[in-house]
Structure 1
């Protein structure tokens, strides 16, 4: 049919109104595909069908029998797999689409940024850094979930807890005109002039602003922040220039703040008084490692309008707070739901009791490195209907705490009680009736054995469990793994690191667990048989087999044949592995982003050549102790692994410092020295095997020694 572009407007409207082009298309496609013996009769029947169904449901293949229609997958949205005969496994997945888009957009930004820099005088380059990162940010509606993750000081998330979604009810600007700016990635380059210029242009739309670690900012920058009237989320952690006067400016100009991170700053009681006066809607507050305020400042929180809507509070490292300080918090912030208090050796049972007297809505608690808490604190917390508990490095908490949880916290989902030496099988038996446990971490609880695990796994939560960590539980054997394979059909993450009693028989039982995506069996006695079995899971994305001395290239090859989606792999200190291991990983696991081959002294430059030729998504690589690698390794990585961000090269004698300086410009972090490998690695600078020497106690040795010492003391 000839184009209607130049036809009479009335005729074009007629065609569009009656959808004649769509009708012609579906009729012609039907004739071409079906090839009826009587075309006129066929067209007559199909026209009647269209008249009965109406024009709204018409598609190009309406007149084609369902058996002859191409069966397209929604995810492909294309006919390419028909034209080229691709099977389902070769189709582009959502994950690969996402990675491809991120790769494309990131390189596009770099291209335009470098082009822009080349056309701008050198003396103006310091202003461009901030403008570039402002251009990278996108507009989107404010949906605030898992906010605890945002307050964490470390780059890798240590603890996250699901919180209620907070809707944008304060700001009057449209949801689609909300700007988020994150300067933490360029914190060492940020200057007052850059920030002021950016906020001057975008201040009306800025709702979320992250300045973590921007230590060069001073009063003018905080003055410009105060002009962002719609600001709701502010992170000024580690901003050395922040003080009470700076916070006064911000409090006067940003009354809509919901989230505020002041950790590692020099704020005093004056800032806490401002919080109660100006931020009546504040919900998330981090004062972690702020050492200059006192109990008096916490008393201010209850004055004025008060921080009565606070639901998240982080007081980690604030060792100056006494029992009275916690009592003041309870009086002014009774609605707290999420409490984080890490690195506080002064935290006692009385502090928790004072807090819980009025804070009855607490749902999650994190007490890392708080050794003086005992069952008394848990007895008080049991009244709060906890959902998540995280405690580490405590030698006073006993099985009684688990009994209290079982009795008073029926909705608990997350139990993290690592390195709590007095916990025994009795604890696991106590929580076996609980129905909703998804995460159980008992790392370094050396008294746990098969009997306790059997009781828990046969309980109500056994089939719901998603994550299980039994690191250093030296009394756990293959019997527990067989029970896990039998009961835990939803288990995704399993950590059996340094469980020395685990063998191939136990790991082979896990081979049919299709839910498993991450496993750590480092420091165990497993062999190639275990890896062959794990390859059958098909969904494995993370594998750690560090210090598994019986594993060879053959085991890795068998595993890789089934683990096509592998993203993280740690085979460090597996002395039998050669270039063939990396070849198998590179050619089978194209989505690999993190690889650790430290201590694999048989590796040569050829293995890195394999890696750089295929694994273009690689972000992290550790080649420490690979004594045969040379400068060619860095050349290969430079050309092929353009996404590499972290590279560790300790004890690499044949890699020169000049090559490191030349090829590491793109890296965010690199560790390098050309020293001889330490004797405990078991080989010299040429890869020759050394006589066995004592290695620092790790894993099961440490756990066993501790267990034996406790038994001696008890005797």
Structure 2
């Protein structure tokens, strides 16, 4: 968040200088800032550690501290009132009372998504920004149809976000029909909106992005988008009411670039209606009941960069159509009945950066077809029949940053084939087949930030390898035979934000003492261990901790609650409760 007046927005008339108020007067702005900065604020600047805060930052902080002293900010330059507003929102200090000070401040951006207490009586202040208002987010609010009436005065607004607003219905949509400058509109999970209400969209001729995810009553409503020829992105994910018939109105939206349709009821027949959308670059059909027959149409989307066919029940038949999608950067084929035969058709997709083959029926020989995908950064092979021999085909993928080998047949010998992939940052292994010897083969991967060794057979001796992974941010070492002695090799990984040591039943309170210096930790799981209430005191330095799990330990919810209240103010997820 910050000052908004430096951004170029065509619809805002900056010639309205309001010289009597000094709103755009540089000297007026400076005088107000100097007046507002108290002596104590100046002392803060002198005492500050690290980077010295700017004069603006000091003043905004001072205003937040003394917010009850001000009745109006309308005389301030817009960029200053915008920063004050944003700071109050960020610090959760904006209230019904302090909001009134922003009446007629010509704010451009009001982002109150998930902010508590937003309701209809806030809309009067919001609408008072008039033609200056360009974007508004009141997601998760209690605003009703009556509150939306007031937006009619904000005719220049371009971006509206009303996600999870349960009290907005078709009647509320009618009040938006005159906002013809809208380019982005979002109503995620608005269960009261129906196909009839979408009639109000017909006048939004400049709409570019429309998000109706999880709106379950809009079957038949897409007909009202037919004339919105500037539309580039439509999100109707998880709208299980959407069928093949809803696709026909989209056939004329020739500027459409992104279409999100996860878990809709669209079949091959519906995809056929999209045949002429030559600019489509992002298509998500995850969980739709399509077959490989739809690939005939998809093969014509020559601009396609992202294609998600996860859980579509595809087989090898028809997958040869994928070979022509030469611009593809992201391809998700997870949870389909495809085999090594289909991978032959991927070998020429040399621009691929991400490939998901999770739970597909592929093995070592199929990986030979990936050998030439030198731009690949992410590879998902979880729950496949890939083993150690197949990894030799991946040894030349030097741009690979993430690979998931969980629930595969890869053993210690296979990990040696990964040792040259020095760009790897994330590695998931089925550690039931990985021992200390295999882990030692990875010590060259010093750039690792995420390492998941679920079901580990790693011992205390093997944890010596962790000393090489100084950049680790996430470490999951579950279900192994690690003791306090092994944790000594983890205690210096100060970049860790997530640590999961669950199912290591020999860990004691000493472990909590050892990791007490990992002050960046946000999530900690030491469930199913021998930790007791006495050990909880060692967690006091972990001020950033938000999630703590100590299930099946010798601790009580009462003692954890005491710790939370006394020393861990950010802790929001606790087990046991």
TM-score (norm 2): 0.75
How does 1:285-434 map onto structure 2 within 5 Å? Answer: 285-302=160-177, 306-331=178-203, 333-348=204-219, 350-354=220-224, 356-384=225-253, 385-394=255-264, 396-405=265-274, 407-420=275-288, 422-434=289-301
Q: Shift in Å at residue 339 of structure 1?
A: 1.9
Shift of 1:452: 4.9
CA distance in 1, matches of 2:25, 2:269: 52
Give the secondary structure class of the aligned counterpart of 1:415: strand
Task: Report the Cα distance in structure 2 between the residues aligned to 1:658 and 1:197, rounded to whole angstroms.
Answer: 47
Partner of 1:610: helix, strand, or coil? coil
Matched with 2:322 is 456
| Rounded Cα–Cα distance in structure 1 between residues aligned with 2:135 and 2:452 | 37
Residues 1:534 and 1:440: Cα distance change in structure 2 (over 3 Å):
farther
Larger gyration radius, structure 1 or structure 2:
1
Q: Deviations over 1:62-103 (max 9, x none)?
A: xxxxxxxxxxxxxxxxxxxxxxxxxxxxxxxxxxxxxxxxxx
| 2:303 aligns with one of 436, 447, 450 | 436
Note the aligned Cα RMSD (angstroms): 3.5
Change in CA separation of 1:630 and 1:367 when aligned onto 2, cut-off 3 Å = farther
User: Which residue does the alignment assign to 1:656?
Assistant: 532
Indicate the residue corresponding to 1:482 in structure 2: 368
Preserved CA contact (<8 Å) 2:226 2:252: no
Judging changes above 3 Å, is the alpha-carbon distance between structure 1 residues 527 and 377 closer, same or farther for their aligned structure 2 residues? farther
d(CA) in 1 for partners of 2:9, 2:365: 46
Aligned to 1:522: 406
Equivalent residues in 2 for 1:69-148 (5 A)? none
- Indicate whether 1:587 and 2:467 are aligned: yes
Q: Which residue of 2 aligns with 1:643?
A: 520
- How big is the shift at 1:262? 0.7
SS at match of 1:532: helix
* Higher mean C-alpha deviation, range 476-485 or range 320-329: 476-485
Q: Matches of residues 143-182 of structure 1 in structure 2 within 5 Å?
A: none
| Cα displacement (A) at 1:373 | 1.4
Look up the match of 2:125: 249
Query: Contact 1:491 / 1:516 at 8 angstroms: preserved in 2?
Result: yes
Inter-partner Cα distance in structure 2 for 1:621 and 1:142: 42
2:453 matches 1:571: yes
Q: Is the alpha carbon distance of 1:357 and 1:544 closer, same or farther for their aligned partners in structure 2, counting shifts above 3 Å?
A: same
Name 1:704's counterpart in structure 2.
Answer: none
Conserved? CA contact 1:438–1:466, under 8 Å: no
1:554 equivalenced with 2:455 (yes/no): no
Matches of 2:261 and 2:417 in 1, distance apart? 34
Q: Equivalents in 2 of 1:469, 1:415: separation in Å?
A: 15
In structure 2, C-alpha distance between the alignment counterparts of 1:197 and 1:398, rounded to whole Å: 61
Aligned length: 486
- 1:468 lines up with 2:355 in the alignment: yes
1:138/1:210 Cα in 2 relative to 1: closer, same or farther (>3 Å)? closer
Confirm or deny: 8 A CA contact 2:195 2:217 kept in the other structure: no
Post-superposition Cα deviations, 1:234-279, rounded to whole Å, max 9, x if no partner, equal 22123342222211022214642222111111111222121222x2
Give the 3 Å change call, closer, same or farther, for CA 675–448 of structure 1 in structure 2: same
Deviations 1:297-350 (A, max 9, x none): 211112xxx32221221111111111121111232x2222222222233232x0
Deviation at 1:167, TM superposition (A): 7.9
Give the secondary structure class of the aligned counterpart of 2:467: helix
Among 280, 296, 302, the residue aligned to 2:155: 280
Change (3 A) 1:535 1:211: farther
CA separation in 2, counterparts of 1:345 and 1:582? 50
Contact 1:623 1:649 in 2 (8 A): yes
Q: Which of these residues, 482, 503, 507, is aligned with residue 603 of structure 1?
A: 482
Indicate conservation of the 8 Å contact 2:355/2:378, yes or no: yes
- Contact 1:437–1:465 (8 Å) recurs in 2: no
Q: Is the 8 A contact 1:364 1:386 kept in 2?
A: yes
The 8 Å contact of residues 338 and 362 in structure 1, kept in 2 or not, is answered as yes
Q: 1:544 to 1:295 in 2, by over 3 A?
A: same
Equivalent pair of 1:450/1:480 in contact (CA under 8 Å): no
Counterpart CA distance in 2 for 1:376 and 1:478 is: 42
What TM-score, normalized to structure 1? 0.61
1:595-625: CA deviations, max 9, x gaps?
Answer: 122x332122233321222x22111112222
Q: What displacement does 1:391 show?
A: 2.8
Query: Structure 1's 425 and 644: CA in aligned 2 closer, same or farther, altered over 3 A?
Result: same
Matched with 2:37 is: none
Q: Does 1:234 align with 2:110?
A: yes
Cα displacement (A) at 1:387: 1.8
3-state SS, counterpart of residue 564 of structure 1: coil
In the other structure, the counterpart of 2:42 is: none
Unpaired segments of 5 or more residues in structure 1? 1-136, 144-164, 180-190, 678-715
CA deviation vs aligned residue, 1:401-425 (integer Å, no higher than 9, x gap): 55444x32223222332233x2333
Deviation at 1:204, TM superposition (A): 4.9
SS of equivalent to 2:403: strand
Name 2:95's counterpart in structure 1: 218
Deviations 1:206-247 (A, max 9, x none): 4362777988853212213436x2532222123342222211
